[in-house]
Amino acid sequence: MTTLASLVAEGGHELPMPPESYGLIALVLFVLLLAVTWTFRNTSQKHVPPADGEHGHGSGGGSVERHH
């Protein structure tokens, strides 16, 4: 098994792109994830059931009316 010290002594492996590019790619990905998260903000508020009496469904505070 090779160690980090032996890799550095042998010249190591070169990265396929400059190290700064990895940071820039990570930053762009996090900004994209933030944009997706921001797009779906307050969606839970859009799916709240309507208030009582608003559509003529009677009163009952969300209770189910059973007809026999």
pLDDT digits (tens, 9 = 90+) for 39-53: 988 877 666 666 765
Range of the domain at 35: 15-42
Does residue 35 sit within a domain?
yes
> What pLDDT is recorded for position 24?
98
Residue 47 in domain: no
User: CA distances (Å), 11 to each of 4, 5, 17, 26, in order?
Assistant: 11, 10, 16, 26
Assess if residue 37 is contained within a domain: yes
29 inside domain: yes
Domain assignment present for residue 7? The answer is no
28 lies in a domain? yes
pLDDT given for residue 44 in this prediction: 73
pLDDT score at 30:
98
- Determine, yes or no, domain membership for 49: no
pLDDT digits (tens, 9 = 90+) for 2-38: 565 665 566 668 999 999 999 999 999 999 999 999 9
> At residue 62, does pLDDT exceed 60?
no
Identify the pLDDT of residue 67: 66
Distance between CA atoms of 13 and 19, rounded to whole angstroms? 13
Number of domains making up the chain: 1
